């Protein structure tokens, strides 16, 4: 029985890892494939913001699900201390007597093999399946394999493969800059964003794609316009344009849901509300939308608040919250009496623009024979008391 083993920190598991495993599986035709994430890698420190071992295990299960026959094992997660490869090979050899073990390594791992803990026993327990990580490494890889064969009698097979160059360090860094999506399996990227591992921030094109799927088609132009205006106002008022874009893209994510569905979400997220809010269904989507945005996309507290208060406002609003309220109110597809005055004010004074926008909004509510939410009235009072 031939067993292919693939170990590493997988921090995070990316398309290069998946591509390498597929290539080795095609070349070796193993009867069993085990991916074994390390709990505590012995050769390097885990980067700041890295997921816990069990969370990397979950990411690996998402990443390698597309490789036929591959199973992700928690063998090293269950073992205390550092995850030495020799211990893993001993354990698997004991459980699978007579199995032919192949351990997948890249150029860098093969080059440093003599530094590994009890590396001579590693050579006796398995055949190394080596493949290049980057273009142009084939000659060096072959030379290193020959040297280890001659010096230690190591069994090494070279996997013919066109490399898919990727490195986890640069990938982790790029995730903080809303980049790197194309280097990760879709499910892994979604989970990294949801949990905000590595300080990751979502690629905005990806976020739009996910958010727009929640919207009625006729609402998409409004959301696009809101994002456009939010990013513009963020630049004017020295706010984070990325967070403004996130809040704008997600602000209406639950808008199309029915009243009953809104109530179900209120219960799910244990959102406290009042009779006035419950009697005005269109107010509920801001509260539920903030919670859905956090659950699906891991938004920050600042973005959460900007979504939550974009319909009524609240006393003590942050600058980002005011920007999203006003972007929603003034975006380019809007057209109603008094709007141009608010638009003009947004570049001069957010406070004055908010006062005018709230007055117009409350006036529109009263024109329908209803009463504005008390939170809007209190917000207006707060704004007037603190007016510049």
Local structure of 37: helix, strand or coil: strand
Instruction: Please give the angle made by the CA atoms of 266, 270 and 272, to the nearest 5 degrees.
Output: 80
- The answer to pTM > 0.85 is yes
Query: Residue 93 contacts by C-beta under 8 Å, 6 or more apart in sequence?
Result: 99, 101, 125
Q: Which residue has the higher pLDDT, 96 or 163?
A: 96
The arithmetic mean of pLDDT across residues 56-71, rounded, is: 97
Q: Can you give the pLDDT at residue 245? A: 98
SS3 76: helix
Beta partners for residue 14, in sequence order: none
- The pLDDT tens digits of the residues spanning 210-229 come to 999 999 999 999 999 999 99
DSSP 3-state of 165: coil
Per DSSP, 101 falls in state E
> Would you say 168 and 12 are in contact if contact means Cβ atoms under 8 Å apart?
yes
Select the CATH number that applies to the domain covering 203-385 from these four: 1.10.357.10, 1.10.1740.10, 1.10.3210.10, 1.20.1250.20. 1.10.3210.10
CB atoms within 10 A of CB 360: 17
Q: Read off the pLDDT of each residue in 342-367 and give the average, rounded to a whole number.
A: 95
More confident residue, 302 or 164: 302
Residues 190/212, Cβ–Cβ less than 8 Å = no
Report the pLDDT averaged over residues 183-191: 97
| Average pLDDT value for residue range 98-118 | 93
CB atoms within 10 A of CB 170: 12
Token pair of 319, please?
Answer: 């600058």
Q: What does the mean pLDDT of the chain come to? A: 93
- Per-residue pLDDT band at 81 (split at 50, 70, 90): confident
- Whether the per-residue pLDDT at 299 is higher than 80: the answer is yes
Q: Read off the DSSP letter of residue 198.
A: G
Residue for token pair 């609402």? 219
pLDDT tens readout for residues 251-286: 999 999 999 999 999 999 999 888 778 777 788 999
Q: What share of the chain is helix, strand, coil (3-state, %, to 5)?
A: 60, 10, 35
What is d(CA 299, CA 99) in angstroms, rounded to the nearest whole number? 47
Can you point out the beta strands (E) in 73-163? 100-106, 127-131, 156-158
- Tally of CB atoms within 10 A around 377: 15
Identify the CATH homologous superfamily for domain 2-183.
HUPs (3.40.50.620)
What tens digit of pLDDT does each residue of 109-167 get? 999 999 999 999 999 999 999 998 878 888 889 999 999 999 999 999 999 877 677 78
Integer Cα distance of 218 and 255 in angstroms: 12
User: How far is residue 57's CA from residue 105's CA, in Å, rounded to a whole number?
Assistant: 19
Q: What is the pLDDT of residues 10-62, one digit of tens each?
A: 999 999 999 999 999 999 999 999 999 998 777 767 777 889 999 999 999 99
CB 266 within 8 A of CB 287: yes
Distance CA 100, CA 1 (A): 6
pLDDT of residue 163: 67
- The predicted pLDDT at position 335 comes to 94
Domain ranges (residues) in the chain: 2-183, 203-385
Q: Do domains 2-183 and 203-385 have the same CATH topology?
A: no
Interval 349-361 mean pLDDT = 96
Can you tell me the distance from the alpha carbon of 55 to that of 272, in angstroms, rounded to the nearest whole number? 31
Residues 6+ apart with CB under 8 A from 117: 42, 84, 85, 86
Which pLDDT value is given to residue 275? 76
């Amino acid at each position: 029985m031939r067993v292919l083993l693939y170990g590493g920190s997988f921090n995070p598991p990316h398309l290069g890892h998946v591509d390498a495993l597929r290539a080795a599986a095609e070349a070796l035709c193993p009867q069993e494939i085990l991916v074994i994430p390390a709990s505590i890698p012995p050769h390097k420190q885990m980067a700041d913001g890295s997921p816990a071992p069990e969370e990397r295990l979950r990411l690996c299960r998402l990443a390698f699900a597309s490789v036929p026959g591959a199973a992700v094992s928690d063998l090293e997660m269950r073992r205390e201390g550092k995850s030495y490869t020799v211990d893993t090979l001993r354990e698997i050899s004991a459980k699978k007597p007579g199995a032919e073990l192949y351990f997948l390594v890249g150029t860098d791992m093969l080059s440093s093999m003599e530094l590994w803990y009890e590396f001579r026993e590693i050579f006796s327990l398995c055949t190394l399946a080596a493949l290049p990580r980057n273009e142009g490494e084939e000659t060096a890889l072959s030379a290193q394999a020959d040297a280890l064969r001659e010096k230690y009698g190591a069994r090494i097979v070279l996997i013919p493969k066109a490399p898919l160059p990727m490195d986890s360090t640069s990938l982790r860094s790029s995730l903080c800059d809303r980049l790197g999506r194309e280097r990760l399996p879709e499910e892994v990227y979604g989970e990294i964003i949801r949990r905000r591992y590595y300080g990751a921030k979502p690629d905005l094109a990806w976020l739009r794609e996910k958010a727009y799927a929640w919207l009625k088609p006729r609402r998409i132009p409004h959301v696009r316009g809101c994002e456009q205006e939010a990013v513009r106002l963020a630049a004017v008022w020295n706010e984070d344009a990325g967070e403004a874009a996130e809040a704008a893209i997600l602000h209406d994510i639950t808008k199309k849901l029915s009243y009953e569905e809104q109530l179900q979400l209120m219960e799910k997220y244990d959102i406290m509300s009042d009779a006035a809010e419950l009697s005005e269904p269109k107010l509920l989507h801001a509260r539920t939308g903030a919670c859905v945005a956090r659950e699906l996309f891991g938004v920050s507290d600042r973005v959460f608040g900007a979504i939550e208060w974009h319909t009524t406002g609240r006393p003590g609003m942050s600058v980002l919250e005011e920007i999203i309220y006003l972007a929603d109110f003034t975006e380019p597809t809007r057209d109603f009496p008094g709007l141009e005055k608010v638009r003009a004010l947004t570049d001069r004074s957010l406070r004055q623009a908010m006062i005018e926008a709230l007055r117009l909004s409350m006036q529109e509510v009263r024109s329908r024979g209803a009463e504005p939410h008390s939170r809007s009235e209190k917000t207006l009072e707060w704004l007037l008391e603190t007016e510049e």
